[in-house]
């Protein structure tokens, strides 16, 4: 399987790339910083320099050509302001989905966030985080209207704790943390799964093995 991953140097993406490489799959990581190329190669991924904030649909579609699946795992990051939540978390996701349609890459998995699509109290969460959730929700809405075999994954609060391989995965789960290791493991399962097409799933740590959690869906 050849999988193109937007946000290829992100913490989830690097873990995903390592897992795919270990499975004998080809992970193609899209990055905008040449300084990140070596890290992707160390993870077993094929790096491609492409800035999704400035690329055209045609350029992204060319990169997707011949792929079996696409994963949107990009994000503006915690240090960014409201403007980049719009240009990365929403616009770049829309761009990748549109390019996937043009390139004929049907399987599309989008990493979103718990809280997306829910009422937002900007006074309680802060304007930047509110902008992030709005951007994620807008990207979700765009994807649902596309002719793609999409799945949206909404993880809980992400941690760098070692993964346990045990998760809670369902259309709705109580808010909780989840290690990035386990998010990546779930993404691997989703990429080859067809029963979750058209599903929006929430993910936290739990007591069900990853493979079983996906199979139950």
Residues serving a catalytic function are 132
Q: How far is CA 28 from the centre of its chain?
A: 14
Strands (E), the chain: 2-6, 26-31, 46-49, 69-72, 107-111, 149-155, 157-159, 166-170, 177-179, 199-205, 208-209
Distance CA 85, CA 165 (A): 30
Residue 145, Cβ density class (10 Å: 0-12 exposed, 13-18 middle, ≥19 buried): exposed
Residue 21, Cβ density class (10 Å: 0-12 exposed, 13-18 middle, ≥19 buried): middle
CB 53 within 8 A of CB 88: yes
Q: Kindly state the tokens that stand for 72.
A: 């949107």
3-class SS of residue 9: coil
């Amino acid at each position: 399987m050849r999988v193109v991953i937007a946000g290829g140097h992100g913490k989830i993406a690097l873990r995903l790339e390592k897992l795919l490489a270990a499975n004998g799959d080809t992970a193609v990581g899209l990055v905008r910083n040449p300084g990140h190329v070596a890290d992707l190669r160390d993870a077993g991924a094929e790096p491609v320099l492409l800035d999704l904030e400035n690329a055209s649909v045609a350029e992204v579609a060319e990169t997707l050509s011949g792929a079996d699946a696409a994963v949107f795992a990009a994000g503006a990051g915690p240090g960014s302001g409201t403007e980049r939540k719009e240009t990365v978390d929403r616009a770049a996701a829309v761009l990748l989905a549109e390019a996937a349609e043009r390139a004929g890459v049907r399987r599309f998995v989008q990493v979103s966030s718990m809280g997306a699509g829910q009422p937002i109290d900007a006074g309680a969460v802060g304007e930047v985080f509110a902008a992030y959730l709005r951007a994620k929700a807008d990207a979700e809405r765009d994807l649902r209207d596309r002719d793609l075999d999409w799945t949206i994954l909404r993880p809980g609060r992400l941690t760098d704790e070692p993964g346990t391989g045990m998760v809670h995965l369902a259309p709705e789960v109580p808010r909780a943390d989840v290690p990035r290791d386990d998010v990546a493991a779930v993404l691997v399962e989703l990429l080859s799964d067809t029963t979750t097409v058209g599903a929006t799933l929430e993910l936290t740590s739990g007591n069900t093995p990853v493979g079983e959690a996906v199979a139950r869906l």
